[in-house]
Amino acid sequence: MSFRPTTEHDRASLKSAVRRLLRGIGGQDEAAGATRVGQQTLSKYASPSSAHDRDHIPVDVLMDLTIDGDDPAVVRTLCRLANGVFVPLPRSREAITNWPSAVGVAVKRGADAAEAICSALSDDGQITRQEIEDLEIADKLSRAIEALIVLQTHARSVLDQEAAE
CATH number at residue 57: 1.10.260
Residue 96 buriedness (CB in 10 A; 0-12 / 13-18 / 19+): buried
Q: What is the pTM of this model?
A: 0.62
Query: Are residues 78 and 104 located together in one domain of the fold?
Result: no
The per-residue pLDDT for 154 is 81
What are 89-98's pLDDT values in tens digits?
766 554 456 7
Of 5, 1, 18, the closest CA to residue 58 belongs to 18
The per-residue pLDDT for 151 is 87
Is 19 within a domain?
A: yes
Query: Are residues 68 and 116 located together in one domain of the fold?
Result: no
The per-residue pLDDT for 95 is 47
The per-residue pLDDT for 2 is 74
Last residue within a domain, chosen from 18, 53, 82? 82
Range(s) of the domain holding residue 56:
8-82
Q: Which 3 state secondary structure label does DSSP give 135?
A: coil
Is 93 within a domain?
A: no
Residues 6 or more apart in contact with residue 23 via CB below 8 angstroms: none
The per-residue pLDDT for 141 is 93
The per-residue pLDDT for 160 is 81
Question: Which residues of the chain are modeled with pLDDT < 50?
Answer: 94-95
